[in-house]
Structure 1
Amino acid sequence: MSLVTLFRPTGDNELKLISDADWRAFPPRLPEQPIFYPVMNFDYAEQIAQNWNSQPRWGGVGHVLAFDLPDEVITRWPVQVAGGRTHEELWVPAEELEDFNAMIVGPIRRIATYRDGVRVEELS
């Protein structure tokens, strides 16, 4: 089975919910969030975590998560370009997130953390 790695920029609140799920699932979307959108590359995830999630108005901390899926799974949902050509997101309808979570191979991994826009080495 070939795997593809996707990325998810997030803040501390979502990170806690993922940790509570033993790093195996993303939490359900809020009613005003109809789409779950992991991104297709680290650079885009880093840009969001660093420039958006880690800003003081959003809690001051942003994280980049990585996780693996069988490569054929990503053809199930559309890839959307949100801005520049490297800004690719997989759009998973919120009602399909449970199915999506069941397809994750291995744990979700935190691979980068940013505080007030600056990458920090500690991941705790």
Structure 2
Amino acid sequence: MKTISLYRPVGEKEMILIVESGYKKFPPRLEWQPIFYPVLDESYASEIAEKWNTRDEAGNYLGFVTKFEVPEEIMNQYPAQNVGARNHNELWVPAEELESFNDVIVGNIEVIKVFIGDEFTKETSPELESLILNIKKLP
């Protein structure tokens, strides 16, 4: 089975829920969020995590870039949507389909980057504190 890498920028609250799932699934969308949108490009995910998540008080000024694999045929079910620049491509998964989308993730969701905003004070989750320290040590 051929897989495709997708990326998802997340803030602190969503990252805590991913950790609590054992790095197996993304949490349900909030009622005002009609879609789940993983992105196709790591640099785009990094851009969102760094420019948006690190300025969000509700997310404790933290931005994480997650990476995960899905079977290639999933790409055909959710055609890419371009939302701006050339590399700003996302899959739009309807919120009500997120649970079945989670079921096809191959392996674990991994954290590949973390961005810390200027107003970040202290991590209250021991799991995330350890994760931040370990990611920051990567080259």
Task: Give the TM-score of the pair, scaled to structure 2.
Answer: 0.83
Segments of 4+ moved more than 6 angstroms: none
SS of residue in 1 equivalent to 2:25: coil
Whose helix proportion is higher, 1 or 2? 2
Shift of 1:9: 0.2
Taking the aligned partners of 1:116 and 1:28, their CA distance within structure 2 comes to 25
Matched, 1:85 2:86: yes
**How many pairs align?**
122
Taking the aligned partners of 2:23 and 2:93, their CA distance within structure 1 comes to 19
RMSD over aligned Cα atoms: 1.6
Give ranges in structure 1 of 5+ residues lacking alignment.
none
Spell out the pairing of 1:40-119 with structure 2 (5 A cutoff).
40-55=40-55, 57=57, 58-116=59-117
Amino acid at match of 2:32: E
Q: Which residue of 1 is the match for residue 13 of structure 2?
A: 13
Whose strand proportion is higher, 1 or 2? 1
Once the two structures are superposed, residues 15-46 of structure 1 have per-residue CA deviations (whole angstroms, 9 ceiling, x without a partner) of: 00011111000000000000000000100000
**Identity over the aligned pairs, expressed in percent?**
43
Give ranges in structure 2 of 5+ residues lacking alignment.
119-131
Taking the aligned partners of 1:60 and 1:78, their CA distance within structure 2 comes to 31
